[in-house]
Structure 1
Amino acid sequence: MPSVDMGVEIAGLKLPTPLIAASGTFGYGDEYQQVADYDCIGAISVKGLYLEPRKGCPPPRIWETPSGMLNAIGLQEVGIRRFLAEKLPVVRALGKIVIANICGSSLAEYGELARILDQAEGVAGIEVNISCPNVAEGGIEFGCDPDMAARATEVVRRGTRLPVIPKLSPSASDLAAVARRVAEAGADAVSLINTIPAMAVDVETRRPRLANVVGGLSGPAIRPIAVRMVWEVARGSRLPVIGMGGIANAEDALEFLLVGAAAVQIGTMNFVDPGVWRHTLDGLAAYCRRHEVPAVRTLTGAMLPAAGSRA
């Protein structure tokens, strides 16, 4: 059959491939030039940005777990102004679609970040990390409550004409409800899931493995949870979905696409094997040829009913 069309569109962004570099795992976009095949990457979601630089958590702040990684980096970053002055011009020169991931400790901070990015040449969309603690509400995550998630989304929406993509927290009890509320507040798509809160203990010293005690679990260990959550959100809301959580190869990516994701993000596996981009994209194309699928985008939501199901 003819070559497969690997392009997808989500939130008005036309991506050459469905593979997006996940925020926090690909730096500010240019650090992997010597080891990763950038031709395979449809877009880059840069490291999360606050208004001001952050030092992050003290070490130790990474621990390898069975089939995954535990991290408490603490959103160490350079701040929005240094990003725009020093980092964005470099990644913009690579010709990749840039999605800015923003973090806020208050609604005002989210709004200001959106206004600044709205004027930035080379930023194509804004991914809103609503797993941040809302200081004014006692530290609860914005993403845990549908109304709080909607308020953060609304503030960002008012500040920008760019596509707004809230990144949903797995800590919410009903992610589909959160997705519906952020849709009402002006979101163009959602991405999910963020890392899952977890911890590990050194039994010899009887101390936590991380200085922060609790960190975020990512990697293949969380993939079945993430697939289920993407399925629930895709069924329960009208928004396009970007799926992520432990994708290591084409088969993993296909799971997310089949349950309703329009595109996927790869994160932790990029640390393990920077070649993940090429073999995943090649695997997706091979699957499409094998199943006579002319365009990868037609796989979104194409999961069939379970064997024996009356659906």
Structure 2
Amino acid sequence: MGGIAMVDARLAVSLPGLELKNPVMPASGCFGFGDNSFATKYDLNLLGAIILKSATLDERIGNPAPIINVLEDGALNSVGLKNPGLKVILDEKIPTLRAKVPTLPLIASIAGSTKEEYVTVAKSLSDSGLVNALELNISCPNVHEGGMLFGTNPKVASELTRAVKAVTNVPVYVKLTPNVTDIVEVAQAVAAAGADGLSMINTVLGMKIDVKTRQPVLGNGTGGLSGKAIRALAVRMIYQVSHVVDLPIIASGGITTPEDVIEMYLAGAHCVSVGTAHFSNPTACLDIINELPAKMDELGISSLQDLIKEVRSAH
């Protein structure tokens, strides 16, 4: 359990429901519920926050193996929202993590097959007092029902956001899918429905075929493409959305270096979540946190909060 991180006040960011000492957090699924191998590399209290693995009402066994294929410039995954279900998560998983990180902001990710399931899971997690915010996963491309279907239709996304907001007392960040014709339209719809923030972007629907076996490399056939391969797409979409929707944005999509973090801020982000980088560097989050102050000095950035104001006022 090695690793230290400098506490630099210039890295602090204030968001609805979240006081972050730095802007870096593992993306949903990467650290499980603080109980997988990536989560054992250093003291989790050094992170800005943790986004937990997506929770559904009942246990999900996920998609057929193989579920992950690491590429040169990213990864394909079709995990399929595998999780032990709400009861185990509330009774065991989050309390165990919370005991290790009593003051660290925790963002619970919620998913479902129906609007009713989302509402039930959201209310239970909100009422538990164990988490500081919710990430509404309406953008998973790896499930056959629910998931991305909620995130591609602005009207449906709006209705779901409104229904979840009506039963929760913690901020709700809606995770947007890039697999749409116009992401701005969806962002505007969930903002109008009362979303407290946005998380973007989720994975891009992709596929890889093994030329020797002539079969897809994933058991599900298709999967979500993440990592460096989608960073330019993420930057473009965050830039577009931040110019028309005045909500804080948790940026994700191929972030591996401090420069990537700054680029996301210049596009309009308020903090970042790191995912695929962990496959090649298990301490990616901690390394970015430690290297960020020097990069800010080099670029003449006094604080991240000032950078947010500067970028947003220029819009």
Secondary structure at the counterpart of residue 27 of structure 1: coil
- State the partner residue of 2:72: 66
Cα shift at 1:135: 4.5
Q: For 2:214, which of 200, 206, 211 is the aligned residue? A: 206
- State the partner residue of 2:53: 47
Cα shift at 1:23: 0.2
Counterpart contact for 1:4–1:288, Cα < 8 Å = no
Secondary structure at the counterpart of residue 246 of structure 1: coil
1:144 aligns with 2:152: yes
Corresponding letter in the other structure for 2:14: E
Tell me, which stretches of 5 or more residues in structure 1 are unaligned?
Answer: 305-310
- State the partner residue of 1:308: none
Q: For 1:17, which of 19, 22, 27 is the aligned residue? A: 22
Q: For 2:63, which of 57, 60, 63 is the aligned residue? A: 57
Cα shift at 1:210: 1.0
Cα shift at 1:280: 0.7
CA displacement 1:248-302 (0-9 Å, x = unmatched): 1111111101111000000111232122122211222112223443322222275
- State the partner residue of 2:4: none
CA displacement 1:209-231 (0-9 Å, x = unmatched): 11110000011111111111111
Aligned residues: CA RMSD: 2.0
- State the partner residue of 2:108: 100
Counterpart contact for 1:253–1:264, Cα < 8 Å = yes
Calculate the TM-score normalised by the size of structure 1: 0.91
- State the partner residue of 1:267: 275
Aligned ranges for residues 1-311 of structure 1 at < 5 Å?
4-31=9-36, 32-93=38-99, 94-95=101-102, 96-132=104-140, 135=145, 141-300=149-308, 302=310
Structure 1 residues 135 and 39, CA, compared in 2 at 3 Å: closer, same or farther?
Answer: closer
Counterpart contact for 2:127–2:169, Cα < 8 Å = no
Separation (CA, whole Å) in 2 of partners of 1:33 and 1:126:
20
Q: Name the structure with the higher helix share.
A: 2
Separation (CA, whole Å) in 2 of partners of 1:158 and 1:39:
31
Structure 1 residues 288 and 147, CA, compared in 2 at 3 Å: closer, same or farther?
Answer: same
Separation (CA, whole Å) in 1 of partners of 2:25 and 2:230:
18
Secondary structure at the counterpart of residue 29 of structure 1: coil
Secondary structure at the counterpart of residue 186 of structure 2: helix
Separation (CA, whole Å) in 2 of partners of 1:299 and 1:211:
43
Counterpart contact for 2:174–2:195, Cα < 8 Å = yes
Calculate the TM-score normalised by the size of structure 2: 0.90
- State the partner residue of 2:5: none
Cα shift at 1:244: 0.4
Corresponding letter in the other structure for 1:27: G
CA displacement 1:104-131 (0-9 Å, x = unmatched): 1111111111111121122101100012
Counterpart contact for 2:17–2:132, Cα < 8 Å = no
Separation (CA, whole Å) in 2 of partners of 1:70 and 1:177:
27
Cα shift at 1:140: 6.5
Corresponding letter in the other structure for 1:236: V
Separation (CA, whole Å) in 2 of partners of 1:134 and 1:166:
20
Counterpart contact for 1:260–1:301, Cα < 8 Å = no
Q: Work out the number of aligned pairs and report it.
A: 301
Corresponding letter in the other structure for 1:205: T
Corresponding letter in the other structure for 1:65: L
Percentage of matched positions with identical amino acids = 39
Counterpart contact for 2:242–2:269, Cα < 8 Å = yes
Structure 1 residues 73 and 297, CA, compared in 2 at 3 Å: closer, same or farther?
Answer: same
Counterpart contact for 2:187–2:245, Cα < 8 Å = yes
- State the partner residue of 1:307: none
Counterpart contact for 1:50–1:103, Cα < 8 Å = yes
Counterpart contact for 2:55–2:86, Cα < 8 Å = yes
Separation (CA, whole Å) in 1 of partners of 2:224 and 2:58:
22
